[in-house]
A and B are shown apart, each in its own frame.
Chain A
C-alpha cells in the first residue's frame, strides 16, 4: 500500500465511450503524474501537475484530458479512444521538493482495454 489509490482497476470501453480514471493520494504530496505503460515499451510520462497546475504535457493526444481539482485528486478523462490506447495507466505522486531528490509513489494502475 503506497498511499496512492486508483479506480477503476480495470476498464473496458468502446471507441465512442467517455470514461474517467481517478487517482487519489493520501500522502500530502504536491505533485501528481499520469503515465502510460504499454506492452514492450518504457513507461511514458503523460502529464505532470504541481500544486494543481499542469506543468508538463508530453505531446499527448487531446482525446486524453487531465484534471486536477486539488492536490489530492487527479483525473484522466477519456473520449473517442483508439485500440492502441489500451495499456496500463499509472498515477504517481511526489513531494515536489526542489533538491533533486523527489521520489514517486505509484498507484496500482488502471488496466484499460479499448475495443
Chain B
C-alpha cells in the first residue's frame, strides 16, 4: 500500500461545522505537508509540519503529527462553502536530496454545504 493515505475519502458537512481529515504514512519523514486542490486545478500549499513538531496552527487550520503512529490530522474549524475542495497530505521522506520528493495520498474530498 502507499505512503500518505487519507481518510475519509469523502466528507460532507454543514457550513460552520468543523472538518477533520486524517493521514497515515509508512516511512520516516522530514516533514508532512497538507495541500488543497479545487476541482481540476493546481494544488495550493496549506501548512507544513516538521517531524520534530507535534502541532501547528494557521488561521482556521490545525495540524497534528504523531510520528510514533505515523499519522497526521488536519482540522478545519468553522468551515465555509469556499473550503469545498480536495485535501491531500504529502510526506517528504527523510534524507538530504536536492529538491523535495513528496509522496501524495489519494486525498479527501470535502464538501461544505451552505
Interface residues of A (CB under 8 A from B): 2, 4, 6, 30-31, 33, 40-43, 45, 48-51, 53, 55-56, 88, 90, 92, 94, 96, 98, 100-109, 111
Measured between beta carbons, the chain A residues less than 8 angstroms from B102 are: 45, 104
Output the least CB separation between B96 and chain A (Å): 6
Q: What are the 6 tightest A-B residue pairs by CB atom distance, in nearest-first order?
A: A100-B30, A50-B98, A31-B99, A106-B42, A43-B104, A102-B100
Tally of A-B Cβ pairs under 8 angstroms:
81
Contact of B107 with A31 in the complex, beta carbons under 8 Å: no
Chain B interface residues toward A at CB < 8 A: 2, 4, 30-31, 33, 35, 40-45, 48, 50-51, 88, 90, 92, 96-107
A48 touches B31 (CB 8 A): no
Closest chain-A Cβ to B12's Cβ sits at a distance in Å of 19
Q: Which A residue's beta carbon lies closest to that of B46?
A: A103
Cβ-neighbour of A42 out of B50, B98, B105 (below 8 A): B105
What 9 additional pairs, Cβ within 8 angstroms, besides A107-B42, A108-B41?
A: A40-B106, A43-B43, A45-B102, A49-B99, A55-B97, A56-B101, A96-B99, A100-B50, A100-B51
